[in-house]
Structure 1
Amino acid sequence: MTLWLAIAIALIYSAGLFALAVAGDRGRIRLNETRSALVYGLSLAVYATSWTFYGAVGTAVTGGLEFLPIYLGPILLFTLGYPIVRKTLRLGKAMHSTSIADFLSTRYGKSGSVAALVTVIATIGLLPYVALQLKSVAQTLTELSPDIRQNIGTSDVVLAVAGIMALFAILFGTRSVDLTRHNRGLVLTIAAEAIVKLFALMIMAGFAIWLIWNIEPGSSAAPVNPAEIFAADQMDARFWVLTLIAFCAALCLPRQFHMTVVEATVDKPGRLMQWTFPIYLAITTLAVFPITMAGLAYLDGARSAPDMIMLALPLAQGLDWLAIAVFIGGFSAATGMIIVTTIALSAMITNDLVVPVVYRLRQGTGDSTLTMGQQLLWVRRSVVLGFLALAYLYYRTIDNSATLAGLGTISFAAVAQFAPGLIAGLYWKSANRNGMMAGLSAGFASWFLLLIVPAYLGGDPLIAISGDPLVSGVIISLVANISLFALVSVATRPNLVDQAQAASFVALDRELPQDKIGTSGKRVADFRLLLEQFVGSDNARATLTALRQTTGKGYNDLDRADAALVEMSERQLSGILGASSARSLIISTLEGDAVPLEEVVAMFDETSQRLQFSGELLQTAIENIDQGVAVVDQDMRLVAWNSRYVEMFGLPEELVIVGQPIGDLIAHNLGRTEPDGNLVAEEVEKRLGHMRAGRRHALEREQPDGRVLRIMGNPTPQQGYVTSYTDITADRRQEQALETMVEERTRQLTEANAALEKATRSKTRFLAAASHDLVQPMNAARLFTSALSEEIDDGNETSRQLVSQIDHSIEMADKLLRTLLDISKLDGGGLKPNPVTFSVQELFDDLRTQFEGRAADERLDLRVVGSSTWISADKGMLASIMQNLISNALRYTEQGRVLLGARRRGQKIELQVWDSGPGISQDDLESVFEEFRQLRSHSNSEGVGLGLALAQRLARLLGSEIQLVSTPDKGSCFSLTLPETAPETEPARPVAVPATPSGSFDDLEILCIDNEPKALEALSGLLTRWGCEVATATRLDEVETGCPDLLILDYQLDNDVTGDEIYAGLTERWGKKPPVILLTAEDTDATLALCRNLGFERLLKPASPMALRALMGSLVRPSSKKEKTADAAS
């Protein structure tokens, strides 16, 4: 189970590394300067492979302090020897080095032979090292599950690991031809693996300390004396030889050079970049001591399998989880090394072995460098696969008795051969290519004969100066290397390029002679003239002007040059010549010496590199864009173009050459469609005039073949001109198609909107007519019901209740009908708010009057909190909203009270209706405002769930929205907020006249006019029972009576005659204007305005008998009949 769990976790871990690398490459993980420096330092811990993870403990068990040099060497390099690293980093970045082979080749005359030899040595030397990592994976799997060989086979798992590492290296190390491009994903992944390694090691060290601390007397664990394991006499010749090769390997290993130089984002490392790596190694070193002692104390066979103590110790204690953690740490150590090594070696093999051969074979074939670059990516990927396949085969042949440390030291000794040439190349100007080749060849041959041959063929080395083959092999190979390197370098004369490169490398860190800046006698004019030679007169004057503004000094030509001027001049020249060449030129100027020839060559070479790089970058950039580009100089001659430009115009190759007058190309294009040579010449001269004048232009031109090109021209600072051509044919066709589609959609939408408006108007008219026709019989029914109620004896309570229920049902049907009509008006846009200013108290008084009787019937306490605030809103709409909210509160509240009040909210007033009802759950808070949505309550709910939906829509018309806060079983609060306004002088409200008591309408003459006979019959019957004398008519010519005490009119009569027209005809006949009640089903602004203008009172059908009786009592005094009789008698 431990084995399969470990494999599963390793696969998940690998997938996590892939995800981290993808996130880093896509820029999803952004690092500030401090974190970037920390990640850089951690990525250097790729040095800590499975050798240092497992093998260090194994070496400590068998050799004591012999494990220490592998850590001590790089610690010394990054502390005492850090100037070497710093200079290598600066030079590597300045020279755009892609590998250690490229770096050494650049130093030694840009020699391909040096690069090839370094690549061969690195490949041969590191093949055992990569195989060592695969061996460590196999050993750890066997340690986790000894019977793995019978189940799936160790080699199969190792092959899968090699395949995963190859895939990772291909995906994240061979994605770009540009090897100097920073691989963020790779660096982040290696840094993450470093953290995992250190975490696993620290957990193991802590566990080991706990085991040592808890050794009990008499237990199987035997205490270990550290002095017996680690002794000073172990620091012998082997110790210092190992320290030396570790010192060299920390920079010369291809993977270390790749992470230290190629993947660095800056060329001047700070303290965090310098110290993170040695501190990491110091912590790792300290962890080895307790693990070694615990292994010897608790494991009987520790010395027989020392490399596996890291895993054996937790397994022996039954801690499988710790063993898996250690396995993942070792897995990280192995995979990190494999990935970076294969990426670095694939670049070296491709660039320094494959590319030169391919280049020679392809000379004269006409293949573009862009195509070749893409093919080389596949070559590099094939190299990754091939190298890992060789490492796997090598792993299959490794003697199982070979220790991890033994394999590692052989590889370290190989790459140590690069150190003499690298260090000498940084500081010794006489070191040259011939010396490098001789020394490196001698060192490699000695390494092969004295270390490789005895290790694989057996027997004693050919030459030995010590009993330890490693000591003999390393010392002899390095002595041979250094000796021949120095002798040949001194004895031979380097070529000019070699001298130039030596000058560039060695002079990089030359310091400006500060003591000569003030005593050299150089004037401002000397540096001005120097700058003019390289940057031009204008730029030189601008530089001096900027310096004057910065320092406040005059800097006249005869003034002495100071440090500020010297530094400014060096910065300006660095941009043209490069840092090292600029430094050499400034020093020569100060010292008054001629610049040596090799340094002059170096200057030109470095400048040439920069120009070549810029030119290649420009050509690559314009070749990889969709636009055609043509660049001309100040003489209107072609200097740069891309293949897209040639393709667009079908230009012959012999015509498109550097120096070709652009006018000839323009004439060639125009001549295809314009036969008149004079017109062509005029058009050519016109376009050349635009270019010479440096005028920008942008136009679109349709070509004879139907293509549409967007042409844009811009002048360059050097009085040249750049023209770009973009094929926008597809865009134009899409635009035309889109415009046609838009026009068609616009037409369809216009027709659909017109049809919708027509349907809405039809629906509104239908509902209005339907509501009018439906209200008439309901009005009659309600009046008949009232009349029937008065006919029933007081003792017949059952019949009276039945009549009351009928009346209530008619009232609810009327409310539903009016709600539907209001919704119809909202949908049709027929409702428009008419805001007026009024007091909130006035609204509250009306609402109290309307609902206090119902509240009393329901045995509920209706409380109204007085308010002195004023608001501006449509009073009718707001009243309708509040009526709905209060009605709902009374309906759903079983006991307790309903509270109506107002609160100030800044410049607004919040009207609130509280109830102590059952409350509403959170899931239903939004749905209560949906149409036809009702919630269950304690009683049978009336209506169909339209009230709140209508109230919310009305609230939105008023610019507000109903808010709901509710707690189940405690109650709810509905509220809406409206702007507060300043109070106005409140008009005197009409004083309500108490309803005339029963019997006070005796002999009251009333004329009722309605086009509905049944409604007239019901109204007449009711009024008659109230003691009134009633006359009825359906139209004007049926009226035969004189002026009555009260006129009750319908509004909409037959033949489109309205109630106000009937009223006008009657008052003209009578010469008097009796009080009028407009009894109508038309709940519209028109009828309301009509009543206000004519002094009518409006009562909506179906009318409540109580409301009709109260309204009649307010219009006609009880004594009106007697007064009328007295008037007639007089």
Structure 2
Amino acid sequence: MFAGWQLILFSLLYLLLLFAIAWQGDRVARKHYQARSRPWVFSLALTVYCTSWTFYGAVGQATGGGWLHLSIFIGPILTFIFAWPLLRKIFRVSKAHNLTSIADFIASRYGKWQPLAVMVTGFALVGTLPYIALQLKAVTMAYDVLTHFPNQPLSNQSSLTPIFNDTAFFVALALAAFTILFGTRHIDATEHHEGLLRAIAFESLIKLFAFLAVGIFVTWHVFGGFTDLIGKAEFFRPLESQLNTDNFTQGFVAQTLLSMLAIILLPRMFHVTVVENAHRNDARYARWFLPLYLILFALFVMPIAAAGLITFPDGSVEPDTFVLTLPLAFNNGWLALLAYIGGFSAATSMAIMATVAVSIMVSNEIVIPLLLKYRWEKSNSHQSFGQFVLRTRRLTMLTLMLLAYLTYRTIAEFNSLAATGFLAFAAIGQLAPAALGGVIWKGGNRWGTAAGLILGGFLWVYTLLLPTLGAADLVSGQLLNQGPFGLTWLKPTNLFGLSGEGFFSQGVFWSIGCNLAAYILVSRLTPQRMIDRIQASTFVDNLESKPLKTSRLWKGSTKLGDLRNLAERFVGNESVDKAFAEFSNKRNQQPLKNDDPASIELIQLTERLLAGVLGASSARIVMSSALQGKEIKISDVISIVDEASQVLEFNRSLLQSTIENLSQGISVIDQHLNLVIWNQRYLELFNFPDDFMRVGRPAAEVFRYNAERGEYGPGDPETHVQQLIDNIYDGESHRYIRYRKDGSVLEIQGNPMPGGGFVYSS
């Protein structure tokens, strides 16, 4: 119907149009904020959730699973209607901590632990590559259909096609180029990409318009409306068998659950929903706009599927292509071309945003920390790292797109669009216990999170990925059919004999269910570090940052110039000068000088600037490395603790990064004589029982426990306890040495804090 060069020309013209929209959007954003249009642009950009899987694959699934396809629409609608308060909480937490990705979010919640950020990034990568591969498959499939119709191309043609003759390869390169041009214009990963977002919003309009046009054409032009279409469909046994109620329940719950999680946990969705949410008014229309958009999209899925089965009853046409082949079958080439552009929009918008989001994670959590550690150790010069960060991110984008193409050649080509999409959804679903549990339950810690991810990831590979690879003949059929070592009860598709809802449903519930169980169980059985409790409080309680009434200085040796030089190496002079000037203006202070001692607030500001470029966990590494060169004395800890009592949500983490690196055991008691904070070394010195140490425990109970074990020497334990309490009330520093039963010598020093309370070092 169409020549190949024609489709290539239309595709290139469409990409040039996107380029123009993105370029103009960036120009407008540099001049002023678009208060009126921005909420609509943001809401439209959220529909990047609708990919080629929705455009083509939903129709294909409707022909083979009946109403089962509705799960991908119902899930997000349920999330936006019933879980909106939870989403808003995630917005606020992410903005407060300057988080750049879902990996950054989870790692920050569980103590800014770098290995956890790497683990989450791995899941995001594994879950995203098949999804991008799906988009490449869709574009290639659409190209082949329009150039070969009415003849159908060979189903596995691309596996035989040389790379440089493969349409998907050049699509991947074109998308990589576009993504690099408009996805890395800013060093700060939290700075929104106005031009890119406008291009994605435009694509959202195009794909909806194209799908509705095909649906209206089929329903009212080819047939006589919904009633006529359904009436004729009843005469076709293949369609009738697909619409029975048994198939409606088959896997419906599993797919709906995954769709509910995917709308926020998919890397591209988290990036658009959270990172690109630059203003408090951006999301004011989103709660009702996205459900309405999905309802309009879902309206014509079943009519198109029914029309396809009626028009091609012999099964000669792939159901995933009905959106394209129905217009062609009724001699409407221009509508078929519009459908091609609509599918191209759905595929490219997803691939672009997913590549941006995942490249930020891979570069910030894996590549940059490794390279940064080497360069940081080898060089003390204050050279700019900004271009280094950008080059790393761009190279990561290109690598990701090429890996997605490789995934397309090995996996996606041998599975339907829906099957590949749900495989990716199930991988991303493994992040749900850590991410959602992190803003609901304070008891979660890094060990529980890691255990859940490892167990859930293993079961995802075993019960879902292996059967998918088996379809491509990449896994032994003996393993899939007979189980390892002939143990049929360990078959990946029938684990422990529970196969009532098919291998996909049982794989989803085994992997996510065991993930959640391990997250809860291991978190309860392992002690929480101090920073776990701190971050749990800031995420679950969602404390908001409030400026101090007074800005006391940290009594350490860090100068403002040290912080400025550190930030300029990554962020650039202009951004640092602007941030420091705004900080000074908000507090009506005199212009900051490089020789001024750095306040706690300025240290926080610097870490937030670095987090916007490197991610929270990497920023913490850089700040810790920079501050470790300074002498940190107990008086400095006292100052930081006193500040932390006023700006809890940020300064606690700073206190954590300070005292966890000390060789001394540290505990802090507030003015009400309650325990508020301690480090791991303190727990090791006194060997407290599990769950004994908790925030708010009276100091007298801690003293009594130690006194009864002889830690304070011979004599009545109550006398020792009262003496320690009296010292606190007197507000006097005290120091004493104890000779312990095991032969060790323990020196304990207590120092009062200016605002009340005591800091003990052992």
Common fold: TM-score over 0.5: yes
Structure 1 counterpart of 2:124: 122
Alignment-derived partner of residue 602 in structure 2? none
Q: 2:203 maps to which residue?
A: 193
The secondary structure found in structure 1 opposite 2:37 is helix
Q: Is the 8 A contact 1:93 1:267 kept in 2?
A: no
Q: Note the 1:932-951 alignment, pairs <5 A.
A: none
Which of residues 99, 106, 110 is equivalent to 1:108? 110
Give the counterpart of 1:491 among 525, 528, 536: 525
Query: Which AA in structure 1 matches 2:196?
Result: L
Q: 1:104 to 1:399 in 2, by over 3 A?
A: closer
CA distance 1:453–1:11, shift in 2 (3 Å) = same
Summarize the Cα distance change of 1:395–1:106 in structure 2 as closer, same or farther, 3 Å threshold.
Answer: same
Instruction: Decide whether the 8 Å contact of 2:386 with 2:570 is kept in 1.
Output: no
Aligned counterpart, 1:294: 307
Give the letter aligned to residue 18 of structure 2: L
Contact 1:142/1:154 (CA < 8 Å) preserved in 2? no
The residue that corresponds to 1:419 in the other structure is 432
Given that 2:110 and 2:446 are in contact with CA atoms closer than 8 Å, whether structure 1 keeps it comes out as yes
**Partner residue, 2:181:** 171
Contact 1:295 1:302 in 2 (8 A): no
Q: Which residue type is aligned with residue 27 of structure 1?
A: V
Pair 1:162-2:172 in alignment: yes
Query: Which residue number corresponds to residue 2 of structure 2?
Result: 2
Structure 1 equivalent of residue 749 of structure 2? none
Change (3 A) 1:187 1:626: closer
Q: Which amino acid aligns with 2:546?
A: S
The corresponding residue for 1:1024 is none
Partner of 2:97: 95
CA contact 1:61–1:303 (8 Å) conserved in 2: no
**How big is the shift at 1:263?**
0.6
Q: Distance in 2 between matches of 1:278 and 1:574?
A: 35
Would the aligned equivalents of 2:439 and 2:540 in 1 still touch at CA under 8 Å? yes
**1: distance between equivalents of 2:296 and 2:561?**
47
What's the % identity of the aligned pairs?
37
SS of match in other structure, 1:431: coil
What runs of 5+ residues in structure 1 fail to find an aligned partner? 510-569, 579-603, 642-656, 659-1130
Shift of 1:229: 4.6
SS at match of 1:24: helix
Give 1:289 deviation, angstroms.
2.1
**Secondary structure in 2 matching 1:27:** helix
Match for residue 218 of structure 2?
208
Q: 1:228 to 1:577 in 2, by over 3 A?
A: farther
Is the partner of 1:78 in helix, strand or coil? Answer: helix
8 Å Cα contact 1:50-1:334 kept in structure 2: yes
Tell me the secondary structure at the aligned position of residue 269 of structure 2.
Answer: helix
Seen in structure 2, the aligned counterparts of structure 1 residues 508 and 311 have a Cα distance that, compared at 3 Å, is: same
**Aligned-partner Cα distance in 2 for 1:17–1:427:** 40
| CA distance 1:101–1:634, shift in 2 (3 Å) | closer
Give deviations 1:922-974, integer Å, cap 9, x for gaps. xxxxxxxxxxxxxxxxxxxxxxxxxxxxxxxxxxxxxxxxxxxxxxxxxxxxx
State the SS of the aligned residue for 1:256: helix
Q: CA deviation at 1:176?
A: 2.1
- Map 1:641-790 onto structure 2 (within 5 A): none
Q: How far apart, CA to CA, are the structure 1 residues paired with 2:362 and 2:413?
A: 30
- 1:209: Cα distance to partner? 1.0
Query: Alignment partner for residue 466 of structure 2, among 444, 453, 457?
Result: 453
Report 1:989-1028 matches (<5 A): none
Which residue identity lines up with residue 128 of structure 2 in the other structure?
Answer: L
Letter in 2 for 1:373: G
Distance change >3 Å, CA 507–CA 361, structure 1 → 2: same
Aligned to 2:498: 465
1:378-389 pair list within 5 angstroms: 378-389=391-402
C-alpha offsets along residues 678-704 of structure 1, whole Å, 9 cap, x if unaligned?
xxxxxxxxxxxxxxxxxxxxxxxxxxx
Rounded Cα–Cα distance in structure 1 between residues aligned with 2:528 and 2:562: 25
Q: Once the 2 structures are TM-superposed, how far is the Cα of residue 355 of structure 1 from its aligned partner? A: 1.8
SS at match of 1:377: helix
In the alignment, the residues of structure 1 paired with residue 432 and residue 467 of structure 2 have an alpha-carbon distance, to the nearest angstrom, of 24
Letter in 1 for 2:460: W
Give the Cα separation in 1 of the matches to 2:99 and 2:119: 17
CA distance in 1: counterparts of 2:225 and 2:533, whole angstroms:
66
C-alpha deviation, 1:35, in angstroms: 2.3
Distance of aligned partners of 1:322 and 1:363 in 2 relative to their CA distance in 1, 3 Å threshold: same
Cα 1:616–1:302 change in 2 (3 A) is farther
User: Offset of 1:365 from its aligned partner?
Assistant: 2.2
Measure the CA separation in 1 of the matches of 2:32 and 2:254.
Answer: 42
SS of residue matched to 2:386? helix
Distance 1:635 1:257 in 2: 36
How many Å separate the matches in 2 of 1:112 and 1:486?
A: 21
Is it true that 1:475 corresponds to 2:503 in the alignment?
Answer: no
Work out the number of aligned pairs and report it: 551
Q: Among 41, 44, 54, which residue is 2:43 paired with?
A: 41
- Alignment partners' CA distance in 2, 1:110 and 1:577: 28
Task: For residue 180 of structure 1, give the secondary structure of its aligned residue in structure 2.
Answer: coil
Q: AA paired with 2:595?
A: L
Contact 1:86 1:268 in 2 (8 A): no
Find the aligned partners of 1:303 and 1:51 in 2 and give their Cα distance: 21
2:16 corresponds to which residue? 15
1:574 and 2:584 correspond: no
Q: Does 1:140 align with 2:142?
A: yes
Which residue is equivalent to 2:192? 182
1:362-403 CA-to-partner distances (Å, cap 9, x unmatched) read 233225565323112111111111111111122222464421
1:84 Cα offset (Å): 1.8
Q: Which residue of 2 aligns with 1:53?
A: 55
**What amino acid is aligned across from residue 299 of structure 1 in structure 2?**
F
Following superposition of structure 1 onto structure 2, how do residues 352-391 of structure 1 map, counting pairs within 5 Å?
Answer: 352-368=365-381, 371-391=384-404
Structure 1: distance between partners of 2:572 and 2:297: 50
- In the alignment, what sits opposite 1:775? none
* Cα distance in 2 between the residues matched to 1:287 and 1:486: 42
Shift of 1:508: 1.3
**CA deviation after TM superposition for structure 1 residue 298, in Å:** 1.8
Q: Which amino acid letter does the alignment assign opposite residue 330 of structure 2?
A: Q
Take 2:280 and 2:51, find their aligned partners in 1: how far apart are those partners? 26
Q: Taking structure 1 as reference, are residues 449 and 613 closer, same or farther at Cα in structure 2, changes over 3 Å only? A: farther
8 Å contact from structure 1 (residues 162, 392) kept in 2: yes
Secondary structure of 1:26 counterpart:
helix
The Cα offsets for residues 802-849 of structure 1, whole Å up to 9 and x where unpaired, read as: xxxxxxxxxxxxxxxxxxxxxxxxxxxxxxxxxxxxxxxxxxxxxxxx
Q: Secondary structure at the match of 2:527?
A: coil
Q: TM-score, normalised by structure 1?
A: 0.45
Partners of 2:278 and 2:191 in 1: CA distance: 10
- Asked if residue 638 in structure 1 is aligned to residue 610 in structure 2, the reply is no
Distance 1:318 1:30, change over 3 A: farther
C-alpha distance in structure 2 between counterparts of 1:430 and 1:259, whole Å:
29
Provide the rounded CA distance (Å) in 1 between the counterparts of 2:438 and 2:565: 29
The change in CA–CA distance for 1:94 and 1:625 in structure 2 (over 3 A counts) is closer
* Structure with higher RCO (Cα < 8 A, 6+ apart): 2
- 1:123 positional shift: 0.9
Q: Secondary structure at 2:465's aligned position in 1?
A: helix
Q: Report Cα offsets for 1:306-360 as digits up to 9, x if no partner.
A: 1011111001011110000000000011111111111111111111111221222
Q: For residues 56 and 206 of structure 2, what CA distance do their matches in structure 1 show? A: 15
1:2 is paired with a residue whose SS is coil
Q: Which runs of 5+ in 2 are unaligned?
A: 470-474, 482-490, 599-628, 631-762
- Residues 43 and 162 (structure 1), Cα distance of their counterparts in 2 relative to 1, 3 Å cut: same
Q: Distance in 2 between matches of 1:447 and 1:46?
A: 25
Deviates more, 1:24-33 or 1:177-186: 24-33
The answer as to whether partners of 1:246 and 1:412 remain within 8 angstroms in 2 is yes
Corresponding residue of 2:342 = 329
Determine if contact 1:138/1:155 at 8 Å carries over to the other structure. no
> Is the contact made by 1:212 and 1:223 (CA closer than 8 Å) also made in structure 2?
no
The alpha-carbon distance between structure 1 residues 366 and 450, as it changes in their structure 2 partners (threshold 3 A), is: same
